[in-house]
Structure 1
C-alpha cells in the first residue's frame, strides 16, 4: 500500500533537507493553526525554511505529491489567508530574515521575505530612509506578508501601499520553479509586470522569497492636526475637501463617535458634542509645514466643524497616534464578536458610505464602529455583536451584506489593504465580473497548475 501524500512528503523532505526544521507533532501544528482572523485550520506538517533554495525543493515536492502548501510570515492578517483550511503543509518564512543589500544612492533595499517591517525601518533610519508602508502590525508583520496582502497603513495616502513601493521580486511558482521579476530601476517597460501582479495575490500564485523595495527619504519634519466635527457626515465631507486641494497630507485618519468613546476611555480629552474626528499629518521641509497646515485647516473649515487644533509638539502628536493604534484591540470592550472589513470607495463617495453604514447599523440594532484611512477612502467598518446570540449574528450578516452592496454601488471594492483570504472570498462574485474572475483563475492555473498554493483562498470556486 502506498504512503499517504503527507507522509511521503515528510519522508522526502527529511531525506533531501536533513537540517530543515520540520514538525508533525500536535503542539507545533497547533501553533501554526491560527492567524489574526481568529480562524483555525490545523496543518498536517510545518516547515520553517531558511533559504530560497529550500523553498524551491519544498514546493517542488508538494507539487509532485499534490499536497496543499500555505506560505506565511507572522500570521498578522485578518482574513484567514494564512491558515491551513484543508490541512497540508504550512511553509513559514519567519527564519528568512536577512537584509541582503541596502543601496542608499539608488534608494532600494533587497530583503528576504521574513524580515519584519519594523526591523527594516529601524535599520534604514541610519541612512535617512524608510520603506513607506506602515500597517498597524508593522512591528511584527513580515515584508513578505505585507506584499502578499498589499498592506498599506495611514501614510499610504501620500506614499502608497506595498505595491507602489516595490521594484522586484524573487519567488517560487507552484511547480517549484524559482524566478525573478522586476529590477532595481525606477523605470521599466520590459514585458509583463509580474512583480506587481504577485502583490496582493495572497500566496495563491507563488511563494515570495525576496523583495527589492523602493525606499523613501525620511521627512525633515512633520506636524499633526486634529479636526473635530458634530457628525460623521460633516467629517467625511471635510475629507473630500481636504483631498481635493493641492496639499496632500501624509496621513488622514477618520474616527466616528463610537471610536471617540474608546479614545476618551484612554484619557484623551475631547470636547463635548464631538461626534467624529480627523487625525491629519503633513510632512516635508520644516519651513513649509506652517503653510501646509494653513491649507489643510482652510479645507477642513466648513459645516459641522467644532474645533481644529495643531499639535503643539511631537509628544502631543504621538499621543494622538497611540490612541488611533489602540482602537482595534479596544473594540473587544464593546462586544465579544467583531467583524472587521476594510472596504474602500472613491474619496468623493466617502460621505455617502459613512451615512449608509450608520443607517445599516441602526437598522440592524448592532454597534458599528468606523475608523480608518479616510484619505484613501479606505474605511474600517467594525460590526460589534454577540456571536452566541443567533438574532445578533443574523443581523450582523445582513448588515455586512448591505455594506458590501453599497460599497460596490459607490464604485468601491471589498478590501483596501487586508485582502480577501477566506473572509471575503465568497463576495468576490459581486465585486468582479465573470470574465475578470475567469482571467484570474487562468492566471492562477498557469502559475500553479495543480492548485496547491493556498487553495480555497481569494478566488471563489468556479460555477459549473
Structure 2
C-alpha cells in the first residue's frame, strides 16, 4: 500500500506497525458501541520531527490521521476510521523539564498523568488535573479532551494549566503555540484552541503546563444517603453554603460492591449512595469548613456522616471512586455518560437519571464529580443482549436531553468524539457550529485530522 511504503521511508521501520493482531489493539478507545474501522497502519514515533514526517506522508497520500494516547477515552474520539493511519504517541513519554522557579513542566504527550504528578511532587510542586484515569491516561489525551478530575471543583481543569505547546499543523509544519511566561496576550490564544479539540486541529507533540505548590493536607468528610436525590441536595447545599471543597465525589453502592468484588478492599458501606468531600483549607478555617460540609450533609438527609479520622479508610474510599468504572466494566458492557449541569440542578438531574433508568428498564449506576455538577451515569447491559443495548442507547440520549433542558452540557470532560455528535448539534447554535467548521477548515485545510469526529463537516 503506497501510504505504508511512504511511512517506512519517513520513519524507522520499527515504528510502523502493520501486524493485524497488534493493529487491532489500536482500533478503538474504551467507548462502548462507538463505531471503528481497521487502520492501514499504526505508527509510534519518538520525536516531534518524526510526527511531522508522518503527517507530511499522510498529506501526500490523502490519508486520515487519528491520534491517540493511552486509549482510555470514553467517547470514541480515538477510534480508527477506514483507511486511516493511527498515530500513537505513547512512546513519546519524556518529562523534559520541571522549572521550580517559574513553576512549569514541559512534557511529551505520552507522559502518564500520575507519573508527571509524582515527578513534580519530588520537587515540591503539584500538577492538579487528576482525571479518574490518571494512573493510565496521558497528558496529550488529557489536553485533547480538556480532562477534569476529582479536584477540578476547586483547582480547575486541564485548560487552566496549559501554557503552551508544540504541534504539527494541518499543512505539516512544526510550530510552537502559547508561552512560558506568567502573562501573555500576544495574538489569539491558539494553544487554548487546541485544548479540547480532540485531535481534529493538529497533533500535539509537547505541552508546557503550569504547576502549583504541593497541596495542603486534606480532611475527608463522608456522608451516607438512602436516596441519590438526597445526595444531590447535599451537593447543592455545599455550594449554597459558599464552600469550595478540594473534592466532592458521589459513588453509589453498586459501584462500591463491584470495586470490592474486584479488588477485595474490604469496603462495607451500608448506604445506597456515598458522598466523599475533601477540604484542604489550612488551619482552623479548614476545620470550620469541614464541619460546615458535615452540616450540609446532615441537613440534606444523610443517614450517617463524619469527618474521617482514619486516613487509610478515607484514601480507600477515594481509591474506590477511581476504580469504579473499570470495576463496573468487568460486569458487562458499560455505556458511560458525561453530562454536566449547574450545581443547583444536580438534585433534579439525578432524579431524572433515576426515572430514565426505570423508563427504559436499564440499570444505571452512578459516579460523579458532584461538586461541579459533572455526572457520570453508567448504563449497564449484558453481553449479546441487543434489546438491552437498544434501551440503554435510548436512555443515553434521554439523559443528554435532560441535561440540556437543565442548562447543562452534553460533555463535561470526556469529549464529543462519536457518541455525543448528535448532542453537540442540539447544544450549539447553527451559527456557532459553522464557526467551528470554519476553524476546522482553516487549521486542517485537507481534512486529514480525525475526520468524522466531533461534528459533521
Give the TM-score of the pair, scaled to structure 2. 0.94
1:292 CA drift (Å) = 2.4
- Of 310, 314, 322, 1:313 maps to 310
Map 1:247-286 onto structure 2 (within 5 A).
Answer: 247-259=243-255, 261-262=257-258, 267-271=266-270, 274-286=271-283
- Of 28, 38, 48, 1:34 maps to 28
| 1-structure distance, mates of 2:451, 2:112 | 25
**Structure 1 range deviating more: 182-191 or 387-396:** 387-396
Contact 2:253-2:269 within 8 A present in 1 as well: no
1:52 CA drift (Å) = 1.0
Contact 1:42-1:83 within 8 A present in 2 as well: no
The answer for the alignment partner of 2:431 in structure 1 is: 435
| 1-structure distance, mates of 2:225, 2:388 | 30
| 2-structure distance, mates of 1:303, 1:207 | 47
The answer for the alignment partner of 1:221 in structure 2 is: 217
Contact 2:15-2:44 within 8 A present in 1 as well: yes
Deviation readout 1:35-88 (Å, 9 max, x if unpaired) = 222554321011111111111121122112210111111111112211212231
Contact 1:20-1:49 within 8 A present in 2 as well: no
1:306 CA drift (Å) = 1.2
Contact 1:221-1:286 within 8 A present in 2 as well: no
1:14 CA drift (Å) = 2.5
1:226 CA drift (Å) = 0.4
The answer for the alignment partner of 2:3 in structure 1 is: 9
- Of 184, 189, 201, 1:193 maps to 189
1:323 CA drift (Å) = 2.0
Name the CA shift for 1:394/1:286 in 2 (closer, same or farther; >3 Å).
same
Name the CA shift for 1:84/1:168 in 2 (closer, same or farther; >3 Å).
same
Give the TM-score of the pair, scaled to structure 1. 0.93
- Of 441, 447, 451, 2:447 maps to 451
Map 1:156-235 onto structure 2 (within 5 A).
Answer: 156-235=152-231
The answer for the alignment partner of 2:411 in structure 1 is: 415
Structure 2 unmatched runs, 5+? none
CA RMSD of aligned residues (A): 1.9
| 2-structure distance, mates of 1:79, 1:455 | 15
1:284 CA drift (Å) = 3.9
1:235 CA drift (Å) = 1.1
Contact 1:99-1:109 within 8 A present in 2 as well: yes
1:25 CA drift (Å) = 2.5
Name the CA shift for 1:220/1:404 in 2 (closer, same or farther; >3 Å).
closer
| 2-structure distance, mates of 1:333, 1:77 | 17
Classify the secondary structure of the residue corresponding to 1:127. coil
The answer for the alignment partner of 2:319 in structure 1 is: 322
Contact 1:222-1:286 within 8 A present in 2 as well: no
Map 1:69-108 onto structure 2 (within 5 A).
Answer: 69-108=65-104
1:125 CA drift (Å) = 1.1
Contact 1:282-1:289 within 8 A present in 2 as well: yes
| 1-structure distance, mates of 2:70, 2:361 | 36
1:260 CA drift (Å) = 5.0
Classify the secondary structure of the residue corresponding to 1:71. strand
Contact 1:260-1:277 within 8 A present in 2 as well: no
1:220 CA drift (Å) = 2.9
| 1-structure distance, mates of 2:275, 2:179 | 38
- Of 404, 425, 439, 2:400 maps to 404
Map 1:53-64 onto structure 2 (within 5 A).
Answer: 53-64=49-60
Contact 2:255-2:327 within 8 A present in 1 as well: no
Deviation readout 1:85-142 (Å, 9 max, x if unpaired) = 2231111111212211111111101111111111111111111112111112212211
Name the CA shift for 1:47/1:263 in 2 (closer, same or farther; >3 Å).
closer
Name the CA shift for 1:127/1:431 in 2 (closer, same or farther; >3 Å).
same
1:223 CA drift (Å) = 1.2
The answer for the alignment partner of 2:125 in structure 1 is: 129
Deviation readout 1:410-454 (Å, 9 max, x if unpaired) = 111111111111122233211212111111111111111111101
1:387 CA drift (Å) = 5.5
Deviation readout 1:331-388 (Å, 9 max, x if unpaired) = 2465x22111111111111111001110111111121111110011000011112363
1:28 CA drift (Å) = 2.7
Name the CA shift for 1:454/1:237 in 2 (closer, same or farther; >3 Å).
same
Classify the secondary structure of the residue corresponding to 1:370. strand
1:31 CA drift (Å) = 2.5
Contact 1:343-1:416 within 8 A present in 2 as well: yes
**Structure 1 range deviating more: 34-43 or 230-239:** 34-43
Name the CA shift for 1:213/1:369 in 2 (closer, same or farther; >3 Å).
same
